[in-house]
Structure 1
Amino acid sequence: MSTFGSANTNPNKSYEVTQPPGDSISSLCFSPKANFLVATSWDNQVRCWEIARNGTVINSTPKASISHDQPVLCSTWKDDGTTVFSGGCDKQVKMWPLLSGGQPMTVAMHDAPIKEIAWIPEMNLLATGSWDKTLKYWDTRQSNPVHTQQLPDRCYAMSVKHPLMIVGTADRNLIVFNLQNPQVVFILLLVLKTEYKRVVSPLKYQTRCVAAFPDQQGYLVGSIEGRVGVQHLDDAQQNKNFTFKCHRENNEIYSVNALNFHPVHHTFATAGSDGAFNFWDKDSKQRLKAMQRCSQPIPCSTFNNDGSLFAYAVCYDWSKGAENHNPTTAKNYIFLHIPQESEVKSKPRTGATGRK
């Protein structure tokens, strides 16, 4: 087993969020309206901080928290920035009217842990993906789902940019939904398509994360083998598809745990179990910035609503099993990085062409 090259938890000199969770962090999400950051954790808690930035000075103030009965795996905000949804191993989603100080209430249920969650403002519906092999759409005012979609396997990843929804499941299935018709308009089970067998694709190994393009023309997919695929939906743009390696070091291969598009420049970040996060430009096929590796994995990350802050968690991600987890030495951190324009703004490709 490799060790991380440095014992430095914060080699990029990011700002450390105060009072982090007591166990590994499973998701991070910023309010779409203000700098409120929510984190979910394996300690059964959902926490919110208010982030204040003045130039390069950042302050974080714990604002509120709620509890689930079991570890919490996913979170999202309502588009008006008033309400947080969280789901996890207790098989339920809680709706937390955070800004009004209201009490959380259960608004969705599954038969197995809920791995992914998304609020779809264009439909005024909540989407939940579970290990029970279903995707459900909920009107939060009703106790039953408005639609239940059977999935080919357990839900591992989900991303929505209306009308495009991408769901990644076990066994390397990727399902593409057109939400203008919530019944599936077309399903791409990519591993079954012969043309995809000819390329070394991220779908050769387990899907870890997906991210819909901001222009809804395609999606990114990241896998446990340190590879990202850039996929376009239009048949006429298939020649733009490519895969690239990342989060690898000295023959060690690490999972790509998070894919986040910058809300302004539409470049994207990857974060991995190697403890690094990088910024990329898919259109010029280049890495814009490689950040130094932290001493623990990065299981999740997110941009704030204007892209001026990038939040990432640094903690054990369980990818090497319980036997490699030392609770006495393992600490949990949430860091805030201020992206520089040179790190996240597209620039023309120079020099050699081809795949990275």
Structure 2
Amino acid sequence: MSPSFVETSKSSPHFEFERTSLSLRRRPAASSPAPPPTASLTSASPTTGDHLLVSSWDKTVRLYDASANVLRGEFKHGGPVLDCCFHDDSSGFSAGADNTVRRLVFSSSKEDILGRHDAPVRCVEYSYAAGQLITGSWDKTLKCWDPRGASGQERTLVGTYPQPERVYSLSLVGNRLVVATAGRHVNVYDLRNMSQPEQRRESSLKYQTRCVRCILMEQVMLLVLLKDGYGTFATGGCDGYVNVWDGNNKKRLYQYSKYPTSIAALSFSRDGRLLAVASSYTFEEGDKPHEPDSIFVRSVNEIEVKPKPKVYPNPPA
């Protein structure tokens, strides 16, 4: 079954963070000449729901243990890190403005260079169905990598697939891959045959796509997978609000209290118990004073994500 997908638009975020809701806090040194780092993405572990991987514009990827309220690992890169994802509980991947795709080993804090693009790498997604890492870049290409091979582009690169414009978002569900680029292009691929897109679409949004997420009606995947297959998803905006939606009935289920500034990224734990919210000014109104950038981790209550049952009128007598 082909996936449906959800898009959001507007500009990309910047951010640094501190972790507040679970009393874990990080701030840059007061003497640091760099601007406050901005989080580019938060990613939940595929199996251990309490691990959180965070990429940042301060050239760092950080691994947190939400249940223990501690920083488990830190990886320094050569430029702002634009995206990250888990491989398994022991490793992950990252990519960023230095054009490089990296594999991160958490236990040893070791990192390997998996390969490179010719321009900044905007997004990474690991496909468990294909056993490949997929990266999208501003060099207008999509690349597939086999991380099981030895390090080095000549041994790990599976294929390069030209795109009509710069890649800004990827989403996977099963063997389906959705790619959103500048110019409002959206391509849908079958990972089992990447020779050409299954579908080529033009986005229905007025502005450039910022984020695209797939949906299968039997198993809903949007910003993240919510527990028990409720078919609900969350969105965050520059207004500082996070909303939970019932996609099937096109209704808002819940709105969390306003966060200090723009929402740069969201991620649920795989079991749906926790929601990580990156509150970080995304410069939608230009350079101006703003609240400190933070990551909030909160418990999710069932009432916030479970669709309300439909109420049908009594049939006429």
1:260 aligns with 2:224: yes
1:184 aligns with 2:196: yes
Shift of 1:266: 2.9
Residues 250-307 of structure 1: CA distance to partner in whole angstroms, max 9, x if unpaired?
xxxxxxxxx3342432310001111110101111211110112222101001001100
**1:77/1:85 contact within 8 Å kept:** yes
Q: 2:264 matched to which residue of 1?
A: 299
Counterpart AA for 2:71:
P
Query: Separation in 2 of the partners of 1:154 and 1:216?
Result: 32
| RMSD (Å) for aligned C-alpha atoms | 2.5
1:83 alignment partner, one of 85, 91, 116: 91
- Identity value in percent: 33
Residues 145-200 of structure 1: CA distance to partner in whole angstroms, max 9, x if unpaired?
21111111001111111211111100111111111222234122225xxxxxxxxx
Counterpart AA for 2:103:
M
Q: 1:338 matched to which residue of 2?
A: 299
Q: Which runs of 5+ in 1 are unaligned?
A: 1-12, 53-58, 192-200, 221-258
Query: Separation in 1 of the partners of 2:262 and 2:64?
Result: 22
Q: 2:249 matched to which residue of 1?
A: 284
- The change in CA–CA distance for 1:73 and 1:350 in structure 2 (over 3 A counts) is farther
1:101 aligns with 2:115: no
| Structure 1 runs, 4 residues or longer, greater than 3 Å off | 13-17, 214-220, 349-352
- The change in CA–CA distance for 1:134 and 1:302 in structure 2 (over 3 A counts) is same
- The change in CA–CA distance for 1:166 and 1:281 in structure 2 (over 3 A counts) is same
Shift of 1:15: 3.9
Higher relative contact order (CA 8 A, sep 6+): 2
**1:177/1:186 contact within 8 Å kept:** yes
Query: Separation in 2 of the partners of 1:107 and 1:266?
Result: 35
Shift of 1:218: 9.2
- The change in CA–CA distance for 1:149 and 1:277 in structure 2 (over 3 A counts) is same
1:32 aligns with 2:46: yes
Query: Separation in 1 of the partners of 2:216 and 2:92?
Result: 22
Q: Which runs of 5+ in 2 are unaligned?
A: 1-19, 29-35
Q: 2:10 matched to which residue of 1?
A: none
Query: Separation in 2 of the partners of 1:90 and 1:116?
Result: 13
Query: Separation in 2 of the partners of 1:104 and 1:178?
Result: 30
2:209 alignment partner, one of 207, 213, 230: 207
Query: Separation in 1 of the partners of 2:221 and 2:72?
Result: 34
Query: Separation in 1 of the partners of 2:221 and 2:47?
Result: 25
SS of the residue corresponding to residue 299 of structure 1 reads: strand
Query: Separation in 1 of the partners of 2:233 and 2:252?
Result: 10
Shift of 1:43: 0.5
Once the two structures are overlaid, the 10-residue window that deviates more, 279-288 or 13-22, is 13-22
Shift of 1:138: 0.5
SS of the residue corresponding to residue 347 of structure 1 reads: coil
1:348 aligns with 2:304: no
SS of the residue corresponding to residue 182 of structure 1 reads: coil
1:308 aligns with 2:273: yes
Query: Separation in 1 of the partners of 2:245 and 2:72?
Result: 33
Normalised by the size of structure 1, how large is the TM-score?
0.73
